[in-house]
Amino acid sequence: MHFQTSSFIEGINIRCNEQFNGLLDLQRQLYRDISKKNSLPVNDVSMYTFKIKDVLARKMVFIVLDDIDSLEQLDALLGNKGLHPESKVIITTKDASLTERCALFDLRVQPKHTKVILNGLRESESLELLCIHAFKSQKPKEGYKEVSEKLVKYCEGHPLALEVLGKSLRKRDNVDEWQYYIEGLKKEPHSRIKKALQMSIDSLPFENDKELFKHIACFFVGADRDLAETILNACDMNARSGIPNLIDKCLLSIKPNNMLMMHQLVQEMGRDLVREESPHKPWKRSRLWRDEESYKVLKQKKGMGNILGLSLDMRRLNKKKLHELKTDSLRKMDNLMLLQLNYVKLNGSFQNFPEDLRWLCMHGFPLKFIPSNLPMENLVVLNLSYSNIESFGMHQSNPQQLESTKKDLVESCSNDTPLLGSLKILDLSFCKQLLGLGGFFDLPALEKLIVRNCTSLIEVCESVEECIELVHIDLSYCYNLKKLPISLGKLKKVKTLLLDGCNSNESRIKMWDMKSSDISIISETPLSTVMESIPSDLKFFATSMPSSLIILSLAGTNLSDESFPMDFSCLSMLKELRLDNNPIVSMPHFVRSLPRLEKLSMENCERLISIVHPPCTLRVLSIKSYSSSLTDYKNSLRKIIFDPEMSPLNLLGASKLLSPTSFEIDGMIKIQPMAGVEKKLLHRLGWKNLEFTRERRLGTYTTRGSEGSQTQMYYEFGIFSTFFEGKEMPNWIRRRSKGPSISFTIPSSPKKVQGLNFCSVLTLLSLYRTRFAHSFFVLPKIKISNITKNSTWIYDHYIERVRVKLDGKCLTLLSHWMFGPDEMKGGDQIAITVIHQSDYQLIKSCGVRLVYDDENIEEEDVLGYYKSWNHIIGGDLSSFQLTTGEYILDNLQYMQDTNKSYWCYPPFTKDDPSYKESGLKLSPKRGLNKSGCNKISVTYMITSGYASFEIFQ
């Protein structure tokens, strides 16, 4: 594209803030660049804006505006009249919300725009950039590789930091100097980097957001967002709106697992702001996060009321001899709200703890019970993971035996005083000694109960029904849990129940007699025959589940097909079900009774053979396998059948679990051995005398691995195909041509064209055959164009490579393309080209034969099922369209295991009632929006905390 004019305006925010009439000078530069005229003799920003917007509306321009920081700057430089339709404007900014709020978006026709993430440089690129500035070469000097890599890790791909620090170290010729410099950076960032980052923090409009930024930088980077919001909201901060503000300013990002992330340099900047409160006296700061400083302040009992948060993890201290700390070290910290004391041994009375604590995290808590004098009335989050406690109940004595534990649980359940009345999240994960869990009368506000990997836990008190606010329960990997409380089913707000790994062949579970008015123990049975460490008449188990559940996880519970109830319809709200790592052979029947299920996960179910008629509401079906090698293909997934009313579906992991030798995804792809294909189908395709191919074996390769097999037939997109070793083109292929292409005109005929058979012969170069132990063929793409109708189909086969015997020289590909009268008629000019994808092979020859609808007529239409598929030539190929009339037929784009977003697979079958038993009808949904991608605003947040950019059209 050729633009009439262009302009690059660099460092806009700095120039506006540091120069007198900075914005006016920028306008002058932009106007000169795009109008090719001298500056106007005016000193008014609004006048220049008027002149600039007039030029922008008339001329096709290319503009880059670097480091926009305010609406005033953006509106002054772009105006509100609109852009020429062919113009391009690239904006870099630290505020991702600016563009949608600018004057251009007030117009009736808004500009097309796309937001793009700016990721940091890769490690190799970072090292190269650092070395250019530090050594004036692309590699580290001898002896400097290790310290250079440390500096690269510190910068985390930030180009400015790499440049500044590289230049700063250019004349330091001692490796030790580099090491000291790096250690110093951890305490205080470089002034120039600090200045650049400070601008984003200064631009935060509210004091709440600045304090929130400091809290997160000091304590919550890497924490779950919901957890952090719960804690910070309880500290009288507005985290619900503050966190999005930090994200918009590129000071914070959220990982897909809901984790708060901050670039290391940004985090250091936030911590440095706190450090500046008292550079040399840590006890006078508002927050303490460095273990050495926290330990020293506590040891010397210097903590005062100015401290809001303190973190100490004794495992990170390098001192060989560390003294135990006293609880009265915290006595004067009246305003302390955030306290993390991991693996700290405390002596003294816990009544000295600050009463205003909102978050108390004490991993490795050494006592066997929670002290009754610990003030916890204001706590909203209590985390005692990895501790030695044996039971949880607020008024129990130190439990010694199981019977006394049960007695304590009952006693704790009967108390009326809620000592933890504000607690919303309780985390007791990995408490290996925990036997019982009770005291729920004390937890009326509890929302999340997390008790993962408590391998000694045997019982949960029935008083859990008092926690009416519970929304999340995690009992994963509590192997010895005998039963879930019956009262669990009375809870009305529970959305998530995680029971991963609770089922074990070694443990046993109690069965309950539902006919008796009193629930009594009648028998015991191995857990492998029941569901998930719970009371196990399966029907009773289903009804004891909270009906409000949205997410249920039964992963790794050793459940077989027979272990599941026939009906689970009581879970009418369930949207996500996880059955990963179970020895199931097929999708359990009860899944079909879930009326709102949207996501079904059966990952790593290596015995899984079939998935038949999953719920029509399903949006995501995940069958990923994380095994490094899957050699036992006889247990691989072979069949997926959908209902005709199915909605658009994300199919994840199919390429790894599906057997390459024989499988079918109804409406998408079908593979079967040639020996098993019905003769009448072969006759209908016009394939004759192919018996010799049935005994020939080949090695095939896809993204999921390799497999040796007999000759297969493949069907996808209305194309039947097979390939076999040798150069024997079938004798009924009479129209032939040497090389990779053939052209012809369809002769006029009273018969209708049903399709065409196309055959090509590939040969390997001798050089290739001598260099490798096997002969490999990369399957080529086949391009068929109807020049008359301006239609083109490019077929990329499901199989990627084929291995033949060492002396194999040729591979023959045979395919039948089903065409209807709308695609091909007499008089149409057809061109077929084989597009090879390897420099080591050539297309020796190709041939074609037309097939008409009255050849080999059968009473039954053996092609009826295949014609019912939706994504075939003559059907709906809109999701595979590249440009008008051109289609790329490639199923692997929907089955790749990558970090990219997965497309929704569109409707599988046509709306034909004759085939509702075997096909899938989905509502149309575009999967490949090649031409319209710039019409949709796709928001990305940067991870570097430095900038993002947006493209306007």
Q: pLDDT (tens digit, 9 = 90+) per residue, 784-800?
A: 999 999 999 999 998 88
Residue 440, pLDDT > 50, answer yes
- Strand segments (E) across 304-347: 309-313, 325-326, 338-342, 346-347
Which range (311-320, 401-410, 614-623) has the least confidence?
A: 401-410
Which tokens go with 827? Answer: 């008089």
If you average pLDDT over residues 304-330, what whole number do you get?
86
Top-confidence residue, 172 or 374: 374
Q: Give the model's pLDDT for residue 291.
A: 93
What's residue 62's pLDDT?
A: 93
* Strands, E assignment, 828-943: 829-835, 841-852, 881-883, 886-889
The least confident of 120-124, 353-357, 750-754, 907-911 is: 907-911
Q: pLDDT tens-digit profile of 424-438? A: 999 999 999 999 999
Written as one string, the DSSP assignment of 427-457 is E-TT-TT--EE--GGG-TT--EEE-TT-TT-
Q: Which of 714, 816, 834 lies closest to 758 in space, CA to CA?
A: 816
Res 216: pLDDT: 97
Over residues 300-314, mean pLDDT: 93
489-518 pLDDT, tens digit each? 899 999 999 999 886 443 333 323 333 333
What is the pLDDT averaged over residues 221-244?
94
Residue 160, token pair as written in the block: 């400015």
Q: Higher confidence at residue 268 or residue 900? A: 268
d(C-alpha 316, C-alpha 320), whole Å = 11
Q: Which among 339, 279, 277, 333 is positioned nearest to 301, based on CA atoms? A: 333
Cα–Cα distance measured from residue 649 to residue 616, given in angstroms and rounded to the nearest whole number: 10
HSE-up of 669 (CA within 13 Å, CB side)?
Answer: 26
pLDDT at position 311 is: 96
Give how far the C-alpha of residue 938 lies from the chain's centroid of Cα atoms, to the nearest Å. Answer: 16
Of the candidates 10, 36, 35, the one whose C-alpha atom is nearest the C-alpha of residue 25 is: 10
CA pair distance 191, 951, nearest whole angstrom: 32
Report pLDDT for 321.
Answer: 59
Lowest mean per-residue pLDDT among 107-121, 246-260, 466-480: 107-121
Residue 855 is predicted with a pLDDT of 52
Show the CA angle centred on residue 283, arms to residues 278 and 289, nearest 5°.
90
Of the candidates 716, 726, 725, 729, the residue with the CA atom closest to the CA atom of residue 687:
729
Q: Mean pLDDT over all residues of the chain?
A: 80
- Give the number of C-alpha atoms closer than 13 A to the C-alpha of residue 408, restricted to the C-beta side: 23
Q: How confident is the model at residue 923 (pLDDT cuts 50, 70, 90)?
A: very low
The angle subtended at Cα 283 by Cα 279 and Cα 287, nearest 5°, is 80
pLDDT at residue 661 above 70? no
pLDDT number for residue 92? 87
State the Cα–Cα distance between residues 849 and 730, nearest whole angstrom: 11
Q: What share of the chain in percent tops pLDDT 90?
A: 35
* Res. 717: pLDDT tops 90: yes
Say what percent of the chain tops pLDDT 70: 79
Residues 6+ apart with CB under 8 A from 161: 154, 155, 190, 193, 265
Q: Closest by alpha carbon to 34, among 54, 19, 14?
A: 54
Least confident of 363-377, 813-827, 936-950: 936-950
Nearest-angstrom CA–CA distance, 68 and 13: 6
Would you give the end-to-end CA distance of the chain in angstroms?
Answer: 13
**pLDDT at site 542:** 42
DSSP for residue 707: E
Lowest mean pLDDT among 163-177, 733-747, 819-833, 839-853: 163-177
- Give 148-164 pLDDT, tens digit per residue: 998 898 888 888 888 88
Both tokens assigned to 55: 């030029």
Any idea which of 396-410, 705-719, 868-882 has the lowest mean pLDDT?
396-410
629 versus 374: which is more confidently predicted?
A: 374
Identify which has the larger pLDDT, 648 or 466: 466
Q: Which residues contact 715 (CB under 8 A, 6 or more apart)?
A: 669, 670, 671, 721, 866
SS3 for 60-114, per residue? CEEEEEEEECCHHHHHHHHCCCCCCCCCEEEEEECCCCHHHHCHHHHCCCCCCEE
Two structure tokens written together for 31: 């106007």
333 class by beta-carbon count within 10 Å (0-12 exposed, 13-18 middle, 19+ buried): buried
Compute φ and ψ for 166, nearest 5 degrees: -60, -45
- SS3 state at 687: coil
Question: Does the pLDDT value for residue 947 go beyond 50?
Answer: no
Of 425, 430, 467, 431, nearest to 449 by C-alpha is 425
The answer for residues whose C-beta is within 8 angstroms of residue 381's C-beta and 6 or more apart is 227, 230, 231, 358, 359, 360, 361, 423, 424, 425, 427
Burial of 305 (0-12, 13-18, 19+ CB in 10 A): exposed
State residue 513's pLDDT score: 32
* Predicted confidence band of residue 768 (pLDDT cuts 50, 70, 90): low
More confident residue, 331 or 644: 331
| pLDDT at residue 403 greater than cutoff 80 | no
Quick one: how far is CA 69 from the chain centroid?
30
Kind and range of the H or E run holding 950: strand 948-952
pLDDT of residue 576: 96
Average pLDDT value for residue range 66-88? 88
Assess whether pLDDT exceeds 70 at residue 3: yes
The whole-number average pLDDT for the span 105-113 is: 79
Give pLDDT, residue 774.
58
Ranges 230-234, 375-379, 537-541, 900-904, most confident: 230-234
- CA dihedral 155→160→165→168, nearest 10 degrees, is 180
Distances (CA, A) of 282 to 212, 264, 273, 679: 20, 21, 13, 85
Region 770-792 average pLDDT: 82
Which sign does the torsion angle of CA 103, 104, 109, 110 carry? negative
pLDDT of residue 364: 93
pLDDT beyond 60 at 722: yes
- Mean pLDDT is lowest, of 301-305, 873-877, 922-926, for 922-926
Q: What is the Cα–Cα distance from 77 to 24, expressed in whole angstroms?
A: 10
Compute the distance between CA of residue 28 and CA of residue 25 in angstroms, rounded to an integer: 5
- Residue 728: exposure state from Cβ atoms within 10 A (0-12, 13-18, ≥19): middle
Q: How many other C-beta atoms are found inside a 10 Å radius of the C-beta of residue 856?
A: 17
